[in-house]
Structure 1
Amino acid sequence: MSVRFWRPLPRRLRVGAVVAVLLAGSLAGLVHDTPATAVAVPSDQVTSHGPGAGRGHGRGFDEPAVGFAPPSTRLVPATPEEVGLNTAEIEGMLADLRAYLEAPSDGRPLYPGAVVLAAHDGKIVVHEAMGHAVKYADANGTELPADQQVPMRPDTIFDMASISKLFTSIVVMQQVEAGRIDLDAPVASYLPTFATNGKESITVRQLLTHTSGLPSWRRLWDYPDRESRIRAALEVAPKAPPQTLYEYSDLNLITLGVLVEKVSGKPLDVLVREGITEPLGMVDTGYNPPAAKLDRIAATEYQTDPPRGMVRGSVHDENAWSLGGVAGHAGIFSTANDLAILAQTILNGGTYQRQRILRRESVAQMLADYNEAFPGHAHGLGFELDQRFYMGALSAPSTAGHTGFTGTSIVIDPLSRSFVILLTNRVHPRREWSNVNPARRVVADRLAQALAVTPRRGRTAWYTGRDDATTATLTLPVRLRTDRTRLAFDLFVDTEDSDRLTLEISRGETWEPLPFVVASRGRVSEHDGVISGFTGRVWQVARAEIDGPPGEVRIRWRFTSDPSQRGRGVYVDGVRLGDAEGTLFDGEREPDAFLADGWVQADR
C-alpha cells in the first residue's frame, strides 16, 4: 500500500515561517521582513473570521483578530456569558487559584494571597481577590494574629518587580518617537561610561531584547552611594559579545533607565508619571508609594541581606532599593485595575480613553520578535513573546507579557483581544517558598479554554481534551472499495511543539504515518503524518490520498501530550472518505463508527 498527498502543490504556495505569517496578518498588517524594518499599517477595523463571526458575542479562540482593537475600546465589566465565554472555566480559574492558598504536603502554600483580572474584547469578566496581603511575621512563616493579618482586596497594591521593565521600555520608545534615541545607536554614544570593558558596540535595541551580552545581575547595594552603584552597573564587563547570547539581565534595563534620564533631562519616575500613568489615569501606579496607601499594599519578603526585616511599601528588589526605589528594572507598584488599563492600551495600539502614549508603529515594534536567532527566547522591545511557561494556552507568536519576581504576571493576547493579570505576593515571607508559574499557567489556560472553538460541521467536533502526559486515539475502521481513496477532514491544532497529532493507517497489526496536506486562507503546508505547535488558531482542511487494494483498514488520529504546558488542543471534524464510486464515509452521519479513547465530542 502506498500513500500519496491528495494534491501536490507548487512550492511557492507552501507555508513559510509561521511567525512571519502571523505578524503579517494579525497585528494591524504588521510587516516583518526583518525586525529592524517592522512597521504597522493603520487599521481600526474589528475583523472576525470563521464560523462564529457575527454570532453576537466576543470572538472565539478560532477567530483570530486582525490589527489592533479600535482605539475607542475601553474597559467595562461584563459577565462571561455576555462575551461568549464559558462561565464554568472562569469559575474553575478562581477555584484553582483558591486551591493554591492551601498548603500542600510541604506545608507551604503557593502564595498567601492573589488578585486576578481577566478581560476579553474590552470586557472585564473577572476581577477577584483572595487570601491575605499580609499574613506572616517573620522569615520562618510565623503567622500573625488573625486581627493583624490583612485580607487581599481587588485594589491591593503590589510590588510589580520586573513588570517595571515594561514601563521603562515604553519610556524608551517615547524617547525614540521624540527623536532623542536611535534604537540601533550604540548605548555609549549617549552614556560614554558604558563603553568600558569592550561594550562600545552594544545598541539600545540589544538592551531591550536582552541580547547585549551583559550578565544578568550585579550586587549593587555593597557600593557606598547611588552614584557608585550606577557606575558599577554601567561599567560591568560583558558576559559575551552582543547578539551572540540571550541573557535576561536587570542590568540592561538599569542602563536604559539611566539613558532615558540622560537624554530627556528628567528622572525616570517623572517620565513614567508624565508619559504613562497620568494620561492613562493609572491612579495607583508609580514608584515609592506614599505612606497613606500602606494599608492597601501587599507585603513581600522578610529580608536579612540587606537587613530590612519584613518589606512592605518599599521595593522588594535590593538593587532597586539601593537606587532609591526608582530603577529601570524594578520599583513600580500597581494594582490589577491599573495594569488592565495598560494592557488595553497595548491592544488598542497605544491609545486609551483618547489618550495616546505611543504611536501604533511603536507598539507594533514592541510586539515584534527580534530574537529569532535565539529559539525559545522570543522577545520584542521590552515585551516577552510566546512564553508558554507562564502564558499557557494563550501562547502564540504575538502573545506578549512579562513576569515579576514577587509573583506578578501579565499576558496580553492580541489574537483574541484578551488579557489576564495575576498578582500574588508569593515571596511573602520568603522567596524560596514557591514557584508561582503553575498559577500563572492556570489563569491563562482557563481563559483560553473559556474562549470557544466552534465545530465546523454540525454541533460537535472530536476534541483531545486537556490532560497532560496522555495518549488519546480516535480510530475509524472502514472497508475500502477501490485502489484509490481520498480522506478529508477539518482540523484545528493549537499545541506546544512537543504535543503532537499523528495521522496513521493500518491494514493489520502495525501502523504507519499517513502524510497529509493542510490548507487555510491561502496557507498550505505538507506534513509527514505529524502536526503540532501554533498553526494560526484557524480551522484548516486536511487531505490525504490512500493507494492500495480494497479491504479493511483502520485510520487513526493519535495525540500524545508531554507532562506539562498544553495549548488549546486539537479538534477533528467533518471526516469524509470518497473514491471513484462516490462517498464512502461521512463522519457527520455516522459518528458511532469512531472508536474514541481519550477523545470526546465537544460543542466548543
Structure 2
Amino acid sequence: MNLPRRVVLAGGLATGTTLLASPLAARAEDFDRPFTGFAPPSTVLREGTPASVGLDPAPIETAKAQVISHQTAVPGGHPLYPGHVGLMAHDGVVVATQADGYAVRYRNATDELPEADRVAMRRDTIFDMASVSKLFTSIAVVQLIEERRVELEAAVADYLPEFAASGKESVTIRHLLTHTSGFTSWLPLYSAYPDKASRIAAVMRQPLANPVGTVYLYSDLNLITLGVLVERLRGQSLDEVVASRLTRPLGMVDTGYNPGARGLTDRTAATEFQAVPDRGMVRGEVHDENAWSLDGVAGHAGVFSTADDLAVLSQALLNGGTYRGARVLERKSVSLLITNFNEAFPGDDHGLGFELNQTWYMDALSGPRTAGHTGYTGTSIVIDFASRSFAILLTNRVHPSRSWGSINVARQEWAGGLGRALPISPRGSHVSWETRPEHAANAILSTPLGAASGPGVGSRGARLAFDLIAETEATDVLRVEVTTDGQEWVLVPLDIRHPGDSRAGAEGGELSGTPGERQWTLVRGELPAGSRALRWRYTTDRNTLGRGVSVSRARVVEPGGVLVDSDAAPDTFSASGWSKQLRS
C-alpha cells in the first residue's frame, strides 16, 4: 500500500490533528435519528478516527480492503482500475482516507509499464472528474438564480435565443438541470463538426428526442447548454466563473480545468489510451472527447479535482453553502440542489444538477436527502445530509481502456462502508438484530412461540409487535412468516405505523424498496392459532444492498400471557445472517 504524504488541505484541514483523548468522547448522530437541517456554518474539516465520532470502524476497514482488492486482476482478466483515492467524513471529521495503486500503470491500451516507470497514487493526485463536472456547472447556474439573473422556470431561450430552434421554445432551466428536457443523451460533436463554434451551434439547433418534460433521459447536451448560458450571462468563460465564484473562495486550489496547461500533469492520474481520435495516453487533459474538442472547458465535463478539495466542497454544502467564512450559496439554494424535482419519474430522483437517492452507487448512505454524482472516468461523490456525512471515491478506471467495465461495486462498497458505520441504537435498553451486508443471501431471524415442545399459539391467536428499520432496495425483500408444522411458512399480514404520518403498508407481510426509512417504525400483526414459530426472512439479490433491516422490541402476546419477549429472553432467538446489537 502506498501511504499518502502529509498534506494540508486548502481550506484548512490538516492531517494529524489531535482530537479528544477518549475515542467515545463524541458520538455520531445515530442512523435512526437523522438530521433535518444543515451543519453549523462554522464547521471546518479536521482529521480524526471513526471511534472519535461514534462510528463503528469495522465496516470502514472492510470497505478499504474491498476497494484495494479491485486493483488486482481477476484470473484471465484485468483489474477494475489501476488505483484509487478515497475519503470519508462524518460530522466535520475526516474518518478515513486511502490512496493505493497507480496513477499511471500502462504504456498503451494493453501493455503495463515496468514497475520503476509507474506513478503511484497519492492522496493529492488530481483526477479527471468527468460528469461530476456537471455539479460545478449546476452550482454556477444556481448562483445566477440567487442573483435573480435567471429564473428556474424560465425558458432557456429567454437567455439564449438561438436555443429556441427546432421546437425547444418551452424547455426551461429546470428541465436542463433535471434531465427532463427531452434532449438526446449525446452527440459526436468532436467528430461531426470542425470547430468549437460549430459544435456549440449544433447543440443549440438540435431538436428534442422526446416531448419536453415527458421522460427522464440523462444528457450531456443539457449541461453543455447551461455552460454556454453561464458564460453568456457572466461575460466570462466557464472556467473563470467556476474559479472566481466557487473554487477560489473555498480554497480549492487543486480544482480546475486543463491541469496540463497549469503545469499539473505530473500530479494527474492518466485516463485512456486513445487511438481514435489519435491522442495516445491521455493525461493532464480531459478524457471526454466532446469536452476536449471544446478546449477542455464545457458544462458537462472538464473539471479536475482531488479528494481533499471535493471534501471541502461537500462540507460547504453540508454547512448550507459556506466554509471558513466564504459563502458560495445561500441556504435556500443548497436546499434546491437536494429537492427532488423528478417525482414524476420514480427512481430518477434529481435535484438541481445533483442526483438523489441512488442506491446503485450510494448504497447504505442512500436516502431522499442524499445527493451526489458519478463520473465516467471512475469518480463518485455521495453527500448524505441526513447524517452529515460524505464519501468520495476517485479512480482512473478508464486507464488504459474504457471497455474494461463498470466500477459500481466499488462505489457501493465505499459509500456503504460509511453508511453501515453509522450506529443504529435500539430504544432504551432494548436488544436489536441487524442484517449483515451480504449479496444473494437468505438471512433468517427466528424464535419459537412458547416452549419448543409446547402447543404454540392458542385458539384465540396472538398479537405480534416489533420495531423496524428497513433500508432496502426494491429487489431485496423482508418477509415476516409463521409456521404451524415447522415445514410450511405463511406470511403474517402487517400494519406499519410510520413516524409522523398515518401510512400503513406491507399488507401481505412483505416489505421492500424503502431507502430513506431511517427511523424506527412500529409494526403490528395478528398470528393465527396454532402458530409454533415466527421468523423474519430477508432475501437479497446480487445487486445493491442498502443498509438492510433492523428489528427490535419483538413481543408476541396471547390472552394467556407473553410468548416472546426479545428483551427479556433474547437467547430464544436464532439468527443466521443477522447480528445482535446491544445499546452501548
Instruction: Say yes or no: TM over 0.5.
Output: yes
Q: Which residue of 1 aligns with 2:517?
A: 536
Report the equivalent of 1:238: 208
**526, 539, 546: which one aligns with 1:567:** 546
Runs of 4+ in 1 over 6 A off after TM superposition: none
Shift in CA distance, 546/107, structure 1 to aligned 2, threshold 3 Å:
closer
Structure 1 Cα separation of the partners of residues 516 and 188 of structure 2: 43
Instruction: Select which of 92, 99, 109 maps to 2:79.
Output: 109
**2:13 corresponding residue in structure 1:** none
8 Å contact from structure 2 (residues 291, 297) kept in 1 = yes
State the shift of 1:465 in Å: 1.6
Q: 1:475, 1:301 → 2: CA distance?
A: 52
Listed as ranges, the gaps of 5+ residues in structure 1 are 1-53
Q: Deviations over 1:294-335 (max 9, x none)?
A: 211111111122111111111111111111111000111110
1:381 paired residue number:
352
Moved more, 405-414 or 105-114: 105-114
- SS of the residue corresponding to residue 420 of structure 1 reads strand
Rounded Cα–Cα distance in structure 1 between residues aligned with 2:102 and 2:400 = 12
Residues 506-554 of structure 1 deviation map (CA, whole Å, 9 limit, x = unaligned): 3234333212223353334322112222352111222223464xx5532
**Structure 1 residues 361-376: aligned runs within 5 Å:** 361-376=332-347
Correspondence for 2:179: 210
| Secondary structure, counterpart of 1:476 in structure 2 | strand
User: What CA distance in whole angstroms lies between the structure 2 residues aligned with 1:76 and 1:574?
Assistant: 38
| Maintained 8 Å contact 1:111/1:434 | no
Distance 1:459 1:543 in 2: 18
Residue matched to 1:474: 445
Correspondence for 2:395 among 407, 415, 424 = 424
Q: Secondary structure of 1:307's partner?
A: coil
- Whole-angstrom CA distance in 1 between matches of 2:76 and 2:557: 58
Match of 1:154? Answer: 123
Which position in structure 1 is the counterpart of 2:220? 250
The one-letter amino acid of 2:448's match is P
Do residues 485 (structure 1) and 462 (structure 2) align?
A: yes
Match of 2:406 among 426, 435, 443: 435
CA contact 2:32–2:519 (8 Å) conserved in 1: yes
Q: Say if 2:147 is the partner of 1:178.
A: yes
Match of 1:517 in 2: 495
Which residue matches 1:12?
Answer: none
Indicate whether 1:592 and 2:571 are aligned. yes
Residues matched between the structures, number: 548
Please give the alpha-carbon distance, in whole angstroms, between the structure 2 residues aligned to 1:196 and 1:442.
45
Do the aligned residues in 1 keep the contact of 2:28 with 2:423 (CA within 8 Å)?
Answer: no
Q: 1:264-300 CA deviation, whole Å, 9 max, x = no partner? A: 2121111101110011010001111244322111111
From 265, 287, 311, give the equivalent of 2:282. 311
Q: Kindly, what percent of the aligned residue pairs are identical?
A: 52
| 1:291/1:313 contact within 8 Å kept | no
Match of 2:375 in 1: 404
2:100 aligned with 1:130: yes
Deviation readout 1:218-250 (Å, 9 max, x if unpaired): 111232221111101211121111111211111
Give the aligned residue type for 1:542: V
Deviation at 1:261, TM superposition (A): 1.1
Q: Offset of 1:477 from its aligned partner?
A: 2.1
- Output the CA distance in 1 between the equivalents of 2:294 and 2:76: 36
Within 2, Cα distance between the matches of 1:474 and 1:315? Answer: 51
Separation in 2, partners of 1:399, 1:434: 26
CA distance, structure 2, for counterparts of residue 524 and residue 446 of structure 1: 33
Give the root-mean-square deviation of aligned CA atoms: 1.8
- Give the alignment's TM-score, normalised by structure 1: 0.88
Q: 1:369 to 1:562 in 2, by over 3 A?
A: same
What's the counterpart of residue 349 of structure 1?
320
CA contact 1:115–1:127 (8 Å) conserved in 2: yes
Residues 448/291 of structure 1: CA separation in 2 closer, same or farther (3 Å cut): same
Contact 1:181 1:263 in 2 (8 A): no
Contact 1:477 1:552 in 2 (8 A): no
Cα distance in structure 1, aligned partners of 2:72 and 2:409: 14
Amino acid at match of 2:57: T
Instruction: Tell me whether 1:266 sits opposite 2:246 in the alignment.
Output: no
Equivalent-residue separation in structure 1 for 2:549 and 2:539 (angstroms): 11
Please give the alpha-carbon distance, in whole angstroms, between the structure 2 residues aligned to 1:279 and 1:597: 52
Measure the CA separation in 2 of the matches of 1:359 and 1:339: 19
